[in-house]
Every structure is written in structure tokens, then in C-alpha cells.
Amino acid sequence: MSAHNTSQRWGWVAKTLHWVMAVLIIGLAIVGTIMANFLNDMALQFELTQQHKSFGFVVFTLALIRIAWRWFSPAVPTEPEGQPVWERVASHVTHYGLYALMLIMPLSGWMMSTSSPLNDPGAYPTQVKNMVFGIFELPDPVHPANETLEKAFHMIHAYSSYLLAALLILHIAGAMKHHFILRDTTLRRMLPLSKVGK
Ligand code: HEM
Ligand code: HEM
């Protein structure tokens, strides 16, 4: 199995990045929505938020690697034959949107957190440091806190997650249409261990 993409299938690097990130991003979106809106247990909410920030940082790092890899290993699968122009445009717009959101989601989350008063020394109940898995702290550029910025980035974070959900519905529906209706190789050439293409 080759690392590089070809015109017929994705290489293992792109496939691994795609599926690991898919699990992380869908998980972050679902758990993020629950922890921010539907929890009464403050301690659990706090703990989930810290984990959310750490996994969000992992997504950001993987997104940079993925975009760099897309640049260095650019031969990507060609469009299925006879694909209408509107479908090609729709899939490209969706893919670019998803790439953009892989960066916008973590960046807006990080800016929201660093702008929060909870992040300032002496904050009640205790200063929240934006630790990544307790190993190192994210840079804290907004100091002292700025609640207007915090609200603005919270809005960007939340509204971007709605856009993410909408694009993902289109994206997954597209993949299902290719697989079950058009019966072409679009889904299989992205699946791990699939033997499709050279
Ligand atoms: C791909 C990455 C990410 C996704 C998909 C994501 C998704 C979400 C979603 C859907 C919410 C709920 C928003 C709401 O309804 O108010 C949320 C909340 C939150 N996110 Fe993220 N997030 C990501 C990365 C990050 C990162 C990297 C950070 C910080 C370093 C972060 C910090 C937060 C915080 C602090 C909240 C809670 C806001 C509150 O309690 O009201 N997120 N996230
Ligand atoms: C069950 C969920 C998912 C399925 C079934 C799925 C399926 C696919 C398939 C089949 C492709 C290859 C398209 C082609 O070869 O033309 C693809 C590409 C892609 N997927 Fe997903 N995907 C899923 C989740 C996600 C998630 C959560 C994200 C990110 C937020 C994502 C982002 C992308 C991007 C950006 C591409 C385009 C790659 C490129 O052209 O560089 N996918 N997906």
C-alpha cells in the first residue's frame, strides 16, 4: 500500500488522516454541543471542556499536516466519468469548506478560551490554564481578559459548528450517493484496506 495518492485512489497517509480526523471532529462537535448546552454537572462540564480543548488542538495539528501533505502529494483521484458540472462544483466547495473549518474551529475555540476571564490570574474559582492533556500550555495572547472578544469568538465557534454540520451532511450524503446509487469507486478509494485502483 503506497503512501502517495494516485489518480485512482488515496494513499495510506491521506486515508489515515481523513478517518482519524473524521472521528475526532465528529466527536468534538457532538460532545462540544452537549457539554456547552445540556449539562447541569459543573465538574463534568469543566472536565469535558479541558479534554475538548486538548483534542481540538490535536485536530489543528493534524489539519496542518494534512494540508501540507495535500500540497506535497497532490495527485488526487479524478472525478468519476460523466459527473455533472454542478456535482463537481458542489464537492469542491464542500471540501474547501471542510478544510477551512478544520482550522477555523480550533482557532476560534482557542481565541475564545484565551479571551475568557477564567483564564486570568486570580480568576474564580481558580485560574484555568489551557493545557493540552496537562503536558503544555497553549499560548495565551489575550491578556488581560476581554469578554467582548470571548463572546465574538464563541459566536464564531458555535456558528461555524452549524456550518460544519451542514457541510458534513452534504459530504456524507454525496459519499453515499456515489456508493449506493452511482455505484462508483469514490467511497472505496478512500476506505482503509480497500484494493481499489493502482
Ligand atoms: C475541530 C475542532 C473543534 C470542534 C469541532 C469544536 C466544536 C465545538 C462545539 C460544537 C461547541 C458547542 C458550542 C456552543 O453550542 O456554544 C464547542 C464549545 C467549546 N469549544 Fe470547541 N471545538 C473544537 C475545537 C476547540 C478548541 C481547540 C478549543 C480551545 C482551545 C475549543 C474550546 C471550546 C470551549 C471553551 C467551548 C465551550 C463554550 C461554552 O462552555 O459555552 N474548541 N466546541
Ligand atoms: C462518515 C463520515 C465520512 C465519510 C463517509 C466521508 C467520505 C469521504 C470520501 C469517500 C472522500 C473521497 C472523495 C473523493 O475521492 O473524491 C472524502 C474526502 C474528504 N473528506 Fe470525508 N468523509 C467523512 C467524514 C469527513 C469529515 C468529518 C471531514 C472533516 C471535517 C471530512 C473531510 C473531507 C475532505 C476535506 C475531503 C477531500 C479531500 C481532498 O480532496 O483533498 N470527511 N470523504
17 pLDDT band, cuts 50/70/90, is very high
Distance CA 56, CA 132 (A): 9
Question: Helices (H) and strands (E) in the chain — how many of each?
Answer: 4, 2
146 touches 115 (CB < 8 A) = yes
Q: How far is the CA of 147 from the centre of ligand 2 (A)?
A: 36
pLDDT tens sequence across 94-126: 999 999 999 999 999 999 999 999 988 887 667
> With a 6 A CB cut-off, is 100 part of the ligand 2 pocket?
no
Residue of 17, 20, 34, 52 best suited for mutating to test ligand 1, as the one with most atoms within 8 Å of CB: 52
Q: Specify the pLDDT at position 120.
A: 86
Q: Specify the pLDDT at position 78.
A: 87
Average model confidence (pLDDT) across the chain? 94
Ligand closest to Cα of 130 equals 1
Would the pLDDT of 83 be above 90? Answer: no
Q: Specify the pLDDT at position 128.
A: 84
Ligand closest to Cα of 118 equals 1
Phi, psi for residue 131 in degrees, rounded to 5: -85, 145
79 pLDDT band, cuts 50/70/90, is confident
Q: Specify the pLDDT at position 161.
A: 98
> With a 6 A CB cut-off, is 9 part of the ligand 2 pocket?
no
- Closest C-alpha residue for ligand 1 atom 33: 109
Distance CA 73, CA 196 (A): 19
Distance CA 9, CA 7 (A): 6
pLDDT tens sequence across 120-152: 888 766 778 899 999 999 999 998 999 999 999
15 touches 192 (CB < 8 A) = yes
pTM across the whole model: 0.96
Structural domains of the chain in order of their starting residue, each with its CATH number: 12-190 (1.20.950.20)
pLDDT tens sequence across 45-77: 999 999 999 999 999 999 999 999 999 988 888
Phi-psi region of 196 (alpha: psi -120 to 50; beta: other; left: phi over 0): beta
126 touches 120 (CB < 8 A) = no
82 pLDDT band, cuts 50/70/90, is confident
Q: What percent of the chain has pLDDT over 90?
A: 83
Ligand closest to Cα of 156 equals 1
